[in-house]
Amino acid sequence: MHATEADAGQRLDNYLLRILKGVPKTRIYRALRKGEVRIDGKRVRPEHRLEAGQEIRIPPITVSVREETPMPSDSLRDLLRDRVLFEDDHLLIVDKPSGLAVHGGSGLKLGLIEAMRRLRPEELRLELVHRLDRATSGCLVLAKRPAALKGMHQQLRDGRIRKTYLALIRGRMPQARMDVDAALERRTTRTGKRQVEVDEEEGKDSRSSFKELQTFGQLATLAEVDIETGRTHQIRVHAQHIGHEVAGDLRYGDLRFNRELRRFGLRRLFLHARSLAFTHPASGEAMRVDAPLDAELRGVINALEGGPAEGQR
């Protein structure tokens, strides 16, 4: 088969997951790892982005009857409906709640993208533009059309989408702004857990900027974080690297700090994708979409302000 104009810009793994309905995800990725899937006769990686006209060779694969994605619960339906930040014929931007994965997998049948597809069956080509960690809340972009997906992915590759986060970090930074340029490498531990580490030799270029917004004595700082790159767990690992771990981080965080923050009502990772600035892929209009802090995170800030907090800079 050949990739069409509508397929252009889509990741190969996402394309295969879409057309090979009923095939387990593990079987598709095994075929990719073994080189059984070829583009124009060549082996390619799962993240390869299709171009119109490319020949896609797929090996014979037995398709089983796939269990239908469950319908989202009434509470999840209502939650997602109330968290739409922007929508037109090309894009759908939602305020992803903490605790909801962006897609299913590893025993999880229903992520945000599956839930939105079930709730909006008329949107036949709804796709994730980017991802957020399961514990992270905030702005998440979905594309309704292949052209919109391709345009947004091009902006991501060119670094033309500004992503700004809010993070509560341990202690007080030595200066009001800290720029972190530390390459990151993703590894898998013996137990199969995905772990990201600073590795200047083998890691990928990764840059983050932490700006102090508000301090709470010497306990914690509310920081605005801009990322120039979008590596897995980037903010969390960079915060750990500079000695100011993100509050509520169970993987890269500080256990004593996390216990202390529980006294102020924190029960989750305090990392929130506050805003996105980009160019609309269809109209060319400059866009900015904001997601306010949810009630839980606002409550933590209010509780901290009742303690020995210092003012804003």
Let me know: does 183 contact 200? Beta carbons within 8 Å: yes
Rg of the chain in Å (alpha carbons): 21
Whole-angstrom distance, CA of residue 19 vs CA of residue 132: 24
Residue type for position 245: E
Q: Return the residue matching tokens 């767990």.
A: 233
DSSP state of 167: E
Q: Which CATH architecture has domain 160-305?
A: 2-Layer Sandwich (3.30)
Whole-angstrom distance, CA of residue 157 vs CA of residue 160: 8
Let me know: does 133 contact 165? Beta carbons within 8 Å: no
Instruction: Exactly one of 7, 95, 133, 249 is catalytic; name it.
Output: 133
Q: Answer yes or no: is pLDDT of 308 > 50.
A: no
Q: Answer yes or no: is pLDDT of 65 > 60.
A: no
| Residue 285 backbone phi and psi in degrees, to 5 | -75, 140
Residue 126 neighbours by CB under 8 Å, 6+ apart: 92, 113, 116, 117, 120, 142, 143, 144
DSSP state of 253: S
| Mean per-residue pLDDT, 253-277 | 97
| Mean per-residue pLDDT, 100-124 | 83
Q: What's residue 9's pLDDT?
A: 80
Angle at 154 between CA 152 and CA 156, to 5 degrees: 70
How much is the mean pLDDT over the chain? 89
Residue type for position 50: L
For 284-299, what is each residue's pLDDT tens digit? 999 999 999 999 999 9
Where helices occur in the chain by DSSP H, the ranges are 12-19, 25-33, 74-82, 112-119, 146-158, 234-241, 255-262, 295-305
Whole-angstrom distance, CA of residue 291 vs CA of residue 67: 34
Whole-angstrom distance, CA of residue 272 vs CA of residue 165: 5
Q: What's residue 295's pLDDT?
A: 93
For 82-91, what is each residue's pLDDT tens digit? 999 999 999 9
Locate 67 and state its tokens: 């269990």
- Domain range list for the chain: 12-57, 74-155, 160-305
Q: What's residue 59's pLDDT?
A: 83
Does residue 133 have an active-site annotation? yes
Neighbours of 70 (CB within 10 A): 12
Query: How distant, in Å, are the alpha carbons of 85, 120, 123, 142 from that of 114?
Result: 19, 10, 12, 12
Q: Answer yes or no: is pLDDT of 312 > 70.
A: no
- Residue 296 CB-half CA count within 13 A: 16
For the chain, the residue count is 313
Locate 50 and state its tokens: 């299709």
Neighbours of 87 (CB within 10 A): 12
The yes-or-no answer to whether 12-57 and 160-305 have a common fold is no
Against a cut of 0.85, is the pTM above it?
no
Whole-angstrom distance, CA of residue 106 vs CA of residue 118: 20
pLDDT tier for residue 99 given thresholds of 50, 70 and 90: very high
pLDDT tier for residue 63 given thresholds of 50, 70 and 90: low
Give the domain 74-155 fold. Pseudouridine synthase (3.30.2350)
Neighbours of 228 (CB within 10 A): 15
DSSP state of 249: -
What is the CATH number that goes with domain 12-57? 3.10.290.10
